[in-house]
Amino acid sequence: MEKGMIYIEEYLEITKFLINSGKVPMEKGYVLVPKIVLSQLLSKNGYETIENKLKIWNRLRWIDADPGRYTKKVSRNGNSKRFVKIDQKIYLTMEELFRK
């Protein structure tokens, strides 16, 4: 399998798992994931480092992040916290294009 397809498959599987788990909040079209949780999931498939995977996800705009980071500050219930924000619209489009 080509390296690009490995990235796509991993992105689709992780995002699907997170959405179906019900353990991460979804807000305004984004799946909000603590970076440590996403890092643990990314570490399971060792074809690339977690840092490089996040770099690619960020460059492809699969995640919304502050400049120079992989997380974005999100205000929820009066508290501000950093999350990796996975864009649901991009996920659904990728799912439609690459899943049979």
| Residue 10, pLDDT above cutoff 80 | yes
The pLDDT tens digits of the residues spanning 34-50 come to 999 999 999 998 889 99
Range of the domain at 7: 3-98
In this prediction, residue 100 has a pLDDT band, given cuts at 50, 70 and 90, of: low
- Report the number of distinct structural domains present in the chain: 1
* CATH label of the domain that carries residue 56: 1.10.10.10
Tens digit of pLDDT for each residue in 57-96? 999 999 999 999 999 999 988 899 999 999 999 999 999 9
| Number of Cβ atoms within 10 Å of the Cβ of 45 | 14
Six token digits for residue 67 = 């400049």
- For the chain, the C-alpha Rg in angstroms (whole number) is 13
pTM: 0.91
